[in-house]
């Protein structure tokens, strides 16, 4: 039994006890008082009637009987009896009808017994007789019963008011306790919240202790997340420059060439420090390290100008820069050269020959070996041109092809209105081979009869034209329709720009509420970069969607592992780990250690961990051993293993 209910029972018990005690005391006191007054009335009335009869000059029996009858007929008496000195009844009047003044059970339970009044009737100096008079008790019962009813009504009203005030008081007193209960439940769900300290000293002690424990858990979790992020950096980043290292960069390049939902084309830039060994001999190791760090800072600044731009250090002298969705290679090359000539070279005027740059285009589906060969050729040509030179190999075409931005806007808007969007589903399986859900990717047909474009072909323009909210809303409707004929649950992703659109959030919540049964089988995920770029908007979206959808998660996770402590308060259900960390995991000991630690941290806050981009059976087996809860990719089959 809850303490709240126990308090309520205690209050009710005390109230009933107080009412019963007060009621009985009041009832018996009132009855005693009425009996006393009734007895005094009997005595007084008997004396008065005896005096009247004594003053009659002639004690005519008829007159005497008329006087007694007139007194009795007033209706206030149970009996009036006149006896002679020998106790013989001379006149008797008694009430024959049972005129009850209260319910029979009440009169039986609380009888009123008042003694009759007696007085002597004189005839001169002689005794004429004696009169006995008893008042009728129905009036006393009526008064006593009325008092009981009024007292009961008063106690009922008072009890109701006390109950209301008690409810308000208990709610006020128990509000901190409810907060502690919610805090304890949140800890069970791997969420860490604090509660305001109450004014009640006893409860304040409990709340302070709970808050201290939550703060300690937060600190422990943040410390663990910090170690995890440091491990990620050690495994996937160059220790000198902080840029991504060659294995991670190659995994990212493979993802851009083969993964679903990426830009259809982009640019790869390869930069080499000229004659690094000679520079090292001339300047010394420490100065050369500063030169390399300066170049990394310049290259990182260039990468920040492009969405998802990724700079990397491949080896001692070679750096790379991946620019997904970069259509104009000449503009990219000009940006890199300007940054190097204006920011990097002036800091090292003693060295004339500092760098060479090769740039090439890639397209989705190209082999990584072919792209690397192309960019090596571009770099070789740049080196043949002379000092601080660059060369572009295969300028390619713009991402938007021959369409202008306005043409794209018109085509995509009309495709949305005419519902030329569809979903293609891919399996996401648990470690045991059972389906977790189907991951659905959007396709759009710009004109009737045109080929269907994947997300990488149209999403960059949709982002630029601010059409992602309309597309995402249509995707949600398609997913809800698809759930009618699909026995598996379905996962869709929502663009980062959409979660910051309050109109989209309102429309999404209304749509999910109207389809509550199907919405409970829908998984919604947001890319990691969108979560931390619009964290306040994502937190608000999670609070609105948590009671509406089946599960909420983050896709392409892994680049902000140091921020995982912030996710504990969002009640998320799962993380999908970026394919960059999954690539060749069976042969990458560093990433195995990192992903194993990530699984442990995520499981500690109640999150499922799902791998993206699994290609080989060896990768899948390794991931299962690391504790992953599911996987998706070309290496994942719908067939359940024997």
What is the pLDDT, as a whole number, of residue 3? 65
Residue 511 to residue 480: CA distance in whole angstroms: 10
Q: Report yes or no: 103 and 145 within 8 Å, Cβ to Cβ.
A: yes
* Dist CA 562 CA 115 (whole Å): 95
* pLDDT tier for residue 109 given thresholds of 50, 70 and 90: confident
Would you kindly state where each structural domain of the chain is located, as residue ranges? Answer: 3-158, 265-393, 405-631
pLDDT (tens digit, 9 = 90+) per residue, 504-522? 999 999 999 999 999 999 9
Q: What is the mean pLDDT of residues 522-546?
A: 89
Euclidean distance between CA atoms 196 and 186, whole angstroms: 15
Q: Where are the beta strands (DSSP E) in 510-568?
A: 522-527, 551-557
For Cα atoms 522, 464, 262, give the angle at the middle one, nearest 5 degrees.
Answer: 55
Q: Are 101 and 145 in contact (CB under 8 A)?
A: yes
CATH of range 265-393; options 3.40.630.30, 3.40.50.300, 3.30.70.270, 3.30.365.10: 3.30.70.270
Distance CA 433, CA 642 (A): 9
CATH class of 405-631: alpha beta
Tokens of 383: 């080196």
Q: Which tens digit of pLDDT belongs to each residue from 282-319?
A: 889 999 999 999 999 999 999 888 878 899 999 989 99
pLDDT at 235: 87
Strand, coil or helix: 313: strand
What is the average pLDDT value for the chain, to the nearest integer? 85
Mean pLDDT of the region 438-465: 86
Where b means 16+ CB within 10 Å and e means fewer, 501-540 reads beebbeebbeebeebeebbebbbbbbbbbbbbebeebbbe
Distance in angstroms (rounded) separating the CA atoms of residues 575 and 261: 18
* Fold designation for 3-158: Translation Initiation Factor IF3 (3.30.110)
pLDDT over 70 at 397, yes or no:
no
Which residue has tokens 């009309």?
414
Q: From residue 484, how far is each of 165, 279, 481, 522 by CA, in Å?
A: 51, 67, 6, 12
What CA–CA distance (Å, rounded) separates 69 from 88?
Answer: 18
Select from 259, 252, 236 the least CA-distant residue to 588. Answer: 236
CA dist., res. 322 & res. 311, Å (int): 6
Query: What is the spatial distance between Cα 279 and Cα 277, in angstroms, rounded to a whole number?
Result: 5
Half-sphere exposure (Cβ direction) of 207: Cα atoms closer than 13 Å: 20
For residue 1, give the DSSP letter. Answer: -
Q: What are phi and psi of 87, to 5 degrees?
A: 65, 25
pLDDT at 151: 83
Q: What distance lies between CA 201 and its chain's CA centroid? A: 30
Best CA proximity match to 497, nearest among 472, 522, 475, 478: 472
Q: What was the pLDDT predicted at 221?
A: 76
Determine the Cα–Cα distance for residues 253 and 269; give it in Å rounded to an integer: 12
In the sheet where 77-83 sits, what is the strand order? 89-94, 77-83, 126-135, 117-123
Summarize pLDDT for 56-100 with one digit per residue, the tens: 887 888 888 888 888 888 878 888 888 988 889 888 888 764 556
In this predicted structure, the answer to whether residue 401 has a pLDDT above a threshold of 60 is no
State pTM to two decimals.
0.67
């Amino acid at each position: 039994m809850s303490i709240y209910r126990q308090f309520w029972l205690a209050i009710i018990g005390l109230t009933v006890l107080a009412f019963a005690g007060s009621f009985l005391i009041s009832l018996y006191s009132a009855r005693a008082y009425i009996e006393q007054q009734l007895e005094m009335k009997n005595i007084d009335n008997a004396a008065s009637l005896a005096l009247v009869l004594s003053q009659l000059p002639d004690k005519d029996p008829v007159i005497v009987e008329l006087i007694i009858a007139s007194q009795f007929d007033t209706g206030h008496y149970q009996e009036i009896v006149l006896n002679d000195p020998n106790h013989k009844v001379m006149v008797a009047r008694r009430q024959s009808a049972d005129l009850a003044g209260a319910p029979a059970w009440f009169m039986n339970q609380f009888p009123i017994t008042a003694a009759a009044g007696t007085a002597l009737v004189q005839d001169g100096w002689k005794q004429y007789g004696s009169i006995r008079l008893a008042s009728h008790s129905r009036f006393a019962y009526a008064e006593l019963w009325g008092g009981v009813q009024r007292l009961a009504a008063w106690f009922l009203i008072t009890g109701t008011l006390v109950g209301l005030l008690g409810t308000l008081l208990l709610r006020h007193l128990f509000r901190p306790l409810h907060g502690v209960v919610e805090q304890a439940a949140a800890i069970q769900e791997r969420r860490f919240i604090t509660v305001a300290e109450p004014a009640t000293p006893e409860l304040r002690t409990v709340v302070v202790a709970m808050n201290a424990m939550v703060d300690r858990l937060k600190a422990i979790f943040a410390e663990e997340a910090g170690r995890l992020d440091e491990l990620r950096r050690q495994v996937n980043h160059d220790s000198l420059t902080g840029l991504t290292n060659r294995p991670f960069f190659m995994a990212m390049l493979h993802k851009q060439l083969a993964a679903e939902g990426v830009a259809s084309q982009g640019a790869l830039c390869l930069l080499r420090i000229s004659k690094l060994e000679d520079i090292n001999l001339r300047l010394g190791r420490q100065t050369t390290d500063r030169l390399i760090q300066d170049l990394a800072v310049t290259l990182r600044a260039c990468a920040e100008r492009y969405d998802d731009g990724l700079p990397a250090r491949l080896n001692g002298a070679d750096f790379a820069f991946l620019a997904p969705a970069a259509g104009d290679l000449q503009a990219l090359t000009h940006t890199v050269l300007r940054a190097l000539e204006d920011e990097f070279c002036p800091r090292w005027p003693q060295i004339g020959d500092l760098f060479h740059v090769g740039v090439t285009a890639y397209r989705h589906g190209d082999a990584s070996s072919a792209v690397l060969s192309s960019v090596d050729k571009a770099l070789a040509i740049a080196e043949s041109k002379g000092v601080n030179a660059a060369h572009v190999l295969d300028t390619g075409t713009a991402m938007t092809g021959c369409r202008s931005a306005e043409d794209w806007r018109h085509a995509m808007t009309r495709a949305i209105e005419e519902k030329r969007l569809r979903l293609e589903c891919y399996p996401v399986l648990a470690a045991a081979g059972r389906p977790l859900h189907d991951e659905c990717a959007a396709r759009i047909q710009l004109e009737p009869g045109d080929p269907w474009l994947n997300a990488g072909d149209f999403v960059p323009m949709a982002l630029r034209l601010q059409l992602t909210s309309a597309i995402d809303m249509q995707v949600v409707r398609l997913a809800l329709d698809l759930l009618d004929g699909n026995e598996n649950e379905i996962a869709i992703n929502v663009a980062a720009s959409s979660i910051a659109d309050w109109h989209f959030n309102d429309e999404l919540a209304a749509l999910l509420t109207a389809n509550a049964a199907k919405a409970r089988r829908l998984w919604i995920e947001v890319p990691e970069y969108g979560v931390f770029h619009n964290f306040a908007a994502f937190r608000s979206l999670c609070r609105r969607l948590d009671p509406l959808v089946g599960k909420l998660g983050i896709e392409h996770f892994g680049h902000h592992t140091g921020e995982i402590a912030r996710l504990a308060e969002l009640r998320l259900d799962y993380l999908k780990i970026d394919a960059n960390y999954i690539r060749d995991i069976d042969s990458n000991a560093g990433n195995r250690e990192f992903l194993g630690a990530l699984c442990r941290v995520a499981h500690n806050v109640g999150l499922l961990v799902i791998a993206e981009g699994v290609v080989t059976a060896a990768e899948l087996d390794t991931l299962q051993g690391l504790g992953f809860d599911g996987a998706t990719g070309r290496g994942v089959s719908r067939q359940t293993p024997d």
